[in-house]
Amino acid sequence: MGVNSTLVKFHNLSIFLFCALASLSSGQTLREAADGAGVLIGAAVRPSQFGEKQYASILAREFNSVEPEDAMKWRVLRRNRRNYDFRAGDQVVRFARAHRMKIRGHCLVWGRDNPDWLMEGHFTTPQLSRLLHDHISRVMKHYANQVFAWDVVNEALDENGNLRDSIWLNQPGIGFAADATAYIAQVFRWAHKADPHALLFYNEAEGEALNRKSDAIYAVVKDLKKRGVPIDGVGLQMHISSDIDVESVMPAIAANIARLSALGVQVHITELDVSVPVDSRGVARPADLEKQADLYRAVVRACLQNPACTAIQTWGFTDKYSWIRSHSRGTRGAALLFDRDFEPKRSYHALLSELLAGRVPKSFSPLQRSE
């Protein structure tokens, strides 16, 4: 091993030890540090795990907001056409309110995770429009004054920034397929009417940096704002890999957050995780965990430096229940802040140290509409 490589490894280890010691000496949790920084720190959750003592205690201690992974999606809320089943979503609400946590809703309109009766029902366009309008109205009114923000539309664009074919757009659609994003505008208007106090977000993947997809997201939001559509924010999912170069990617992410905020909308980091290569046992190399911590630190810094970025949320919080390993067929994993034994990782300490460093004065309230 060369001298330069040894120095780099020593430098990275020194940073990790400094962050760990600083966070331990501060005695603060993530949620306490986030409260001080004026930002929400959240996690996507599974109510089926609330009975697990470590899961529940860490979630309540470390986070000031939650979002259900699946409990408020169509396939859970409406397993059949006639009945709504709010039990799982209500569990999330009860847990959050018991622990003074804010609640994000996810998600009202998506081309996936829909029940078979809906996808295979051969509905006419007017029938589908009524079904969607009813769904948005019933769900948002059920959770009014409880869910402060909703991912109204999720992943409407493909990897090239074009509108994605879906049951809502054109299969058969709700009646606006010939007018590009008009169906998105319509569902935002329905959502605002159902709960005028909720913050309404467009949530998207793979559009975090500057690329064709983020250009398309920007163009859609700019057009919606121009037309007076009640959209309050953009959710950047931020499922990223430790393989990316932090020095080149993070300035682009910061620039993207800046241009979105210039449109007058908030930005939430909604599904943050940083996957790393793992062996057959799911174990990552220390060097990759150091890269992971650097990326977590950089994402949080990019958010905190922009007053319109008001929430940071990870997709889960423990590697024990992360989706990454199964999705990658065992090649990647260890993507979150706590390991499978619920011990905090380098990434936890990196995130905490950035929150403790504070932020620029904010021009948005994370909990109120900008109007």
Known active-site residue 354: no
Q: Choose the catalytic residue: 67, 155, 208, 354.
A: 155
Our answer to whether residue 208 is catalytic in this structure is: no
Distance of alpha carbon 277 from alpha carbon 330, whole angstroms = 9
Residues noted as catalytic: 155, 271
